[in-house]
Amino acid sequence: MGAAGANAPIIIKRKKVIAGGGHHGGAWKVAYADFVTAMMAFFMLMWLLNATTEQQRKGIADYFSPTLPVNRISGGGDGMFGGDNILSEQTLAQNGTGASHLVAGDEAVTNQSAEAEASAAAAAAMVAVLEEVETVLLGRGGESALPEEALRHIVTRLTDEGLVIEIFDVDGVSLFEGDTAVPSTVMTEVAVVLGRVFAMVENPVAFEGHTAARPIVVLDSPVWDLSTDRAMVVRKLIQGAGVAPSRIARVTGHADRDLASANPMSVRNNRIEVTLLRSDQ
């Protein structure tokens, strides 16, 4: 027995150890968890962008990017956040007083409110003046300064710039003789009335000339000179009726580049725009 046992083969079992555990390990779970977290953050960001207003998004951005150390208004605290109180301005380090010592908080708010009210009152007064001029011209609720025949050549509109009075050709009746800058009886009559009405106020006046397009392209198109010359003629007529030359703000010729009618060759595009400008701006 002893000799047989000594000659028996020796069997060595080697166990294969896989580092990391293969698909049974835990490293992939960590990576997957990071991926899920990133996706959750991404979808949360998309939801916030869709569900918040611009002001709310700005507030969120300011929360994650605080600007207190470099803000114009500092809070009370020590060191770099130094300041007497949360209303200290400009100077952030230590005892920042900024401009608060010049004007008290309540007084500053009161002054700003008073300035805003004064500005609004001035704007309202100016609009009232322009509306009064418009009423006198068109005779709304009373007798017009213009005859009935002339009124069909005129439309008015209040804009941010002022009261725009548009004088234009109608079928069969032109403001100027042919393709010239010689004013017709209607144009002369309207200009004289405008001059008399404008003499009631002191607002600046602007003149703009427009013409209809020509049916064919010519080498030397007269529309630029013609629109400018017509605006100049109306300016002279209105000045002669009582408007001081110092009130003339500008005279412009637009040729056929700013049409009033969709049809470029419509007589409606032959017009003069006289603007009584606002004087509160």
Q: Is residue 97 part of a domain?
A: no
Do both 132 and 270 map to the same domain? Answer: yes
Do both 176 and 250 map to the same domain? Answer: yes
% of the chain beyond a pLDDT of 90:
40
Global pTM value: 0.58
Q: Give the pLDDT confidence of 222-238 residue by residue, as tens digits.
A: 899 999 999 999 999 99
Domain boundary among the residues 89, 112, 146 is at: 89
Q: Is residue 155 part of a domain?
A: yes
Q: Give the pLDDT confidence of 30-51 residue by residue, as tens digits.
A: 888 889 999 998 888 888 778 8
Q: Is residue 265 part of a domain?
A: yes
Q: Give the pLDDT confidence of 73-87 residue by residue, as tens digits.
A: 444 455 544 545 544
pLDDT reported for residue 249: 96
pLDDT reported for residue 274: 96
Question: Total domain count for the chain?
Answer: 2
Residue 72 has pLDDT above 50, yes or no: no
Residue 151 is part of a domain; what is its CATH number?
3.30.1330.60
Residue 129 has pLDDT above 50, yes or no: yes
**What CA–CA distance (Å, rounded) separates 248 from 236?**
10
Residue 18 has pLDDT above 70, yes or no: no
Q: Is residue 196 part of a domain?
A: yes
Q: Give the pLDDT confidence of 207-226 residue by residue, as tens digits.
A: 999 999 988 776 677 899 99
Do both 54 and 144 map to the same domain? Answer: no
Do both 136 and 269 map to the same domain? Answer: yes
Q: Is residue 104 part of a domain?
A: no
Q: Is residue 103 part of a domain?
A: no
Do both 165 and 263 map to the same domain? Answer: yes
**What CA–CA distance (Å, rounded) separates 280 from 275?**
15
Residue 163 has pLDDT above 80, yes or no: yes
Amino acid letter, residue 20 = G
Domain that holds residue 259: 127-277
Do both 132 and 65 map to the same domain? Answer: no
Q: Is residue 99 part of a domain?
A: no
Q: Is residue 253 part of a domain?
A: yes
Do both 79 and 135 map to the same domain? Answer: no
Residue 92: CB atoms within 10 A of its CB come to: 20
Do both 79 and 193 map to the same domain? Answer: no
The set of residues, in sequence order, having a beta carbon less than 8 Å from that of 158 and lying 6+ positions away, is 127, 130, 131, 134, 164
Do both 53 and 132 map to the same domain? Answer: no
Do both 133 and 83 map to the same domain? Answer: no
Residue 67 has pLDDT above 70, yes or no: no
Residue 272 has pLDDT above 80, yes or no: yes
